[in-house]
Amino acid sequence: MTIDAVVPARNEAPTVADVVMACRGCTYVREVLVVDDGSSDDTSERAAAAGAKVIRLDPGGSKAHAMEAGVAATDADAVLFVDADCLGLTSAHLDDICAPFADGRAVMSLGTFDYGIWNPLVLRMPHTTGERVIPRWVFEAIPPEKLDGYTIETVINEVVASRHLKTSARVMKGVSHRTKRDKFGLVKGWQLTWKMFWALVRLPLRGVVRGRYYLNYLRSLTVEK
């Protein structure tokens, strides 16, 4: 079973190298692919210097399309997706994510950011975290029309939940990320955050994902200590 890490990254120069190093140190990861479409900073250069294979795409895509390009560029059996803007992420966090998957205890295994007292709740909400390992067939099972921007993680959840497959979730202790407010400033940052939040909330309302699968998802979910 081979696992490659796929890191979608656009303008993540401050953090991408640390994320690549964490992925490279993960026991289960063979190769690290960073997919950059249209960064105006030196994200690609820093990723390559840290040891990643960099895939550059034309600007104008989305996170989902970057993930798709990463999956297409590898022949690995499974893909560990990792966002390039994580803070405090270590190889040990990624090992913890991969272990239940590699042991066959879960078809999807993921880590959530550390939200302190909110962790028990966050662990049982539909997960939108970018740090997760899945077999490549799960990604390839997504209908092309559902490959869209920031809603991709919820669509992955649906592929897993509709087949009653097991998910394993844990908190990545001490891990957070540079938020859109950090990247774009308060006004534009909040605008973009609300836009993303609204896109997620509307998914079941628009019929893109089925709310009833959430129950399947919870039934097949193991929360790891």
Ligand X SMILES: Nc1nc2c(ncn2[C@@H]2O[C@H](COP(=O)(O)OP(=O)(O)OP(=O)(O)O)[C@@H](O)[C@H]2O)c(=O)[nH]1
Interface residues toward ligand X, by CB under 6 A: 8-10, 12, 35-37, 61-63, 66, 83-85, 130, 150, 177, 179-180, 193, 196
Binding mask 62-91 for Mg ion (x = CB under 5 A): -----------------------x------
Nearest to 64 by CA among 37, 100, 93: 37
**The one-letter amino acid at 168:** S
Q: How far is the CB of 75 from ligand X (least distance, A)?
A: 21
Q: Which is nearer to ligand X, 136 or 177 (CB)?
A: 177
Q: Which of 10, 46, 93, 177 binds Mg ion (CB under 5 A)?
A: 177
Residue 91 partner contact from Mg ion, ligand X, none using kind-dependent CB cut-offs of 5 to 8 Å: none
Give residue for tokens 């913890």.
96
Residue 93 partner contact from ligand X, Mg ion, none using kind-dependent CB cut-offs of 5 to 8 Å: none
Q: Which is nearer to ligand X, 8 or 135 (CB)?
A: 8
- Sign of the Cα pseudo-torsion (98, 20, 199, 184, in order): positive
* 36 forms part of the interface with Mg ion (CB under 5 A): no
Q: How far is the CB of 83 from Mg ion (least distance, A)?
A: 5
Residue 180 partner contact from Mg ion, ligand X, none using kind-dependent CB cut-offs of 5 to 8 Å: ligand X
Q: How far is the CB of 105 from ligand X (least distance, A)?
A: 26
Other C-beta atoms lying within 10 Å of the C-beta of residue 47? 28
- Site residues (CB under 5 A) for Mg ion? 85, 177
